[in-house]
């Protein structure tokens, strides 16, 4: 008779151990899902707050204006998210080719010595055309610059005529 309560006690203890393991596993899974939801929320907020607009005039000579075979664009931060003051947050694609960050440089023109590119500030982005094309300047014809930052995308098209 004593063997029945002992076997019940062993089964009860085993079920408690299994239940604790299941609860621990579920708790860990719920914590991971919760952290992922928090991260996704922060990313979505960042994307919603980010907005830039290219304000350069394509017919105003964005290429070779300084004689250095550079493409110079003026970009205004129209969102509420603060970006890097040198434009390093921007991903640039020129005529379908990704532009490495070392082929671009940015400078705030509307806020001297600012630590961030804030709402309403204008960035002068200079793209070294020699490092994109691999030749001595851009060929005549139509060109496209695609910018992306935190999910916000802008497209700028311009034409290079002979004599630049």
Q: What's the total number of domains in the chain?
A: 2
Does residue 155 contact residue 96 with C-beta atoms inside 8 Å?
no
> Do residues 91 and 129 share a domain?
yes
Q: DSSP string spanning 25-92?
A: HHHHHHHHHHHHHHHHHHHHHHHHH--EEE---GGG--BSTTSSSEEEEEEEE-SSS-B-TTSTT-EE
> Do residues 126 and 148 share a domain?
yes
> Do residues 102 and 113 share a domain?
yes
Does residue 103 contact residue 87 with C-beta atoms inside 8 Å?
no
Q: Measure the CA angle with vertex 156, ends 48 and 88; round to 5°.
A: 55
> Do residues 20 and 56 share a domain?
no
> Do residues 89 and 15 share a domain?
no
pLDDT tens-place values along the chain, 164 residues long: 556 787 788 888 888 888 888 888 888 877 787 777 766 666 666 666 788 999 988 888 788 766 777 888 999 999 888 888 888 889 999 988 898 888 899 989 877 777 888 888 999 999 988 887 555 668 888 999 999 998 889 999 998 887 65
Domain containing 6 equals 1-49
> Do residues 45 and 84 share a domain?
no
Per residue in 152-162, is it b (16+ CB within 10 Å) or e — as a string? bebebebebee
Within 10 A of 51 (CB to CB), how many other CB atoms are there? 18
Per residue in 5-39, is it b (16+ CB within 10 Å) or e — as a string? eeeeeeeeeeeeeeeeeeeeeeeeeeeeeeeeeee
> Do residues 59 and 23 share a domain?
no
Q: What is the CATH number of the domain that holds 93?
A: 2.60.40
Q: Name the pTM for this structure.
A: 0.69
């Amino acid at each position: 008779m004593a063997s029945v309560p002992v076997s019940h006690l062993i089964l009860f203890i085993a079920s408690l151990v299994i239940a604790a393991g299941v609860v621990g596993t579920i708790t860990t899974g719920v914590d991971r899902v919760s952290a992922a939801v928090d991260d996704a929320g922060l990313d979505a907020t960042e994307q919603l707050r980010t907005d830039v607009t290219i304000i350069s005039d394509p017919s105003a000579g964005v290429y070779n204006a300084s004689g250095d075979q550079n493409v110079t664009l003026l970009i205004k931060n129209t969102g509420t998210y603060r970006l890097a003051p040198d434009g390093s947050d921007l991903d640039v694609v020129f005529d379908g080719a990704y532009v490495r960050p070392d082929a671009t440089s940015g400078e705030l023109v509307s806020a001297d010595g600012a630590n961030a590119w804030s709402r309403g500030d204008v960035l002068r982005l200079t793209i070294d055309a020699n490092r994109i094309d691999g030749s001595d300047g851009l060929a005549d014809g139509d060109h496209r610059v695609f910018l992306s930052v935190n999910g916000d995308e802008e497209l700028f098209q311009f034409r290079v005529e002979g004599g630049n």
